[in-house]
Structure 1
Amino acid sequence: MSILYQQALTIVRPGIREDEYGNEKPDWATGVTRIPVDGVNVQPSGGSTEDTDDRQVTVTGWRLYTPRGMDLDLRETDRVEFAGMTLQVTGKVARWPAPGGGIHHIEADLREVD
């Protein structure tokens, strides 16, 4: 395995509950699933921005990469715990196809809001 893919993280998936109208909503209080993952690479991406309109908030971007041939059950509604941070998946998870079929690797944008 490459030296680049020696990091570990945990995918955190919310439970599902119905609201008063029967719509499914994520439930971060109960039914949370935790999926440990080894052998990935997480790097800073896009720098940090600050929002000081209502309160001091720093938003830092990160990018998750898997090695060749590794697919993850990662969804845009999940969170990721990495290096003591809780990160939100931002947008769709990119699954790059391999020549001949299957998944070459995945990439996902993450962000930490502090």
Structure 2
Amino acid sequence: MLYLQSITILRAATTTDEYGNEKASWADPLRIPVSGVNVQPAAGSDEDTDDKQLTVTGWRLYTPRGMDLDLRETDRVEAEGTVMQVVGKVARWPAPGGGVHHIEADLREVD
């Protein structure tokens, strides 16, 4: 009953700048739909008031046992109409006997 949510993984396209360097472009990202996951608020939020009022809310993505995702630390996740950045490495918990038991990923929504 916990894994009833659907998300969309957003992956930036790669473009080349005038110097020949590859960089991410979020103008038209690849959209990868995923269902059967759980996204929950993480404990607390941060406020950054150095330059402007900014509230950063944390979220946590979980998959059920046996489900691995092609989710990268450079991706974004859209859930419930909110776009969030993946924060850090995606944790892939090993299953006894091999494979992935489940994954967990920290997400950050910035308002």
Q: Decide which of 5, 8, 14 is 1:7's aligned counterpart.
A: 5
Q: Decide which of 17, 20, 24 is 1:19's aligned counterpart.
A: 17
Superposition pairs of residues 1-114 of structure 1, within 5 angstroms:
3-30=1-28, 32-114=29-111
RMSD: 0.9
Unaligned runs of 5+ in 2: none
* Distance in 2 of aligned mates of 1:20 and 1:85: 33
How many correspondences in the alignment?
Answer: 111
Following TM superposition, the consecutive aligned residue runs of length 4 or more in structure 1 with deviations greater than 6 angstroms are: none
Deviation, structure 1 residue 23? 2.2
Deviations 1:62-100 (A, max 9, x none): 000000000000000100001111000000001111111
* Distance in 1 of aligned mates of 2:90 and 2:21: 24
* Distance in 1 of aligned mates of 2:23 and 2:97: 38
* Distance in 1 of aligned mates of 2:90 and 2:3: 18
Deviations 1:8-27 (A, max 9, x none): 11000010012233222111
Q: Which has the higher strand share?
A: 2
After TM superposition, the score normalised by the length of structure 2 is 0.96
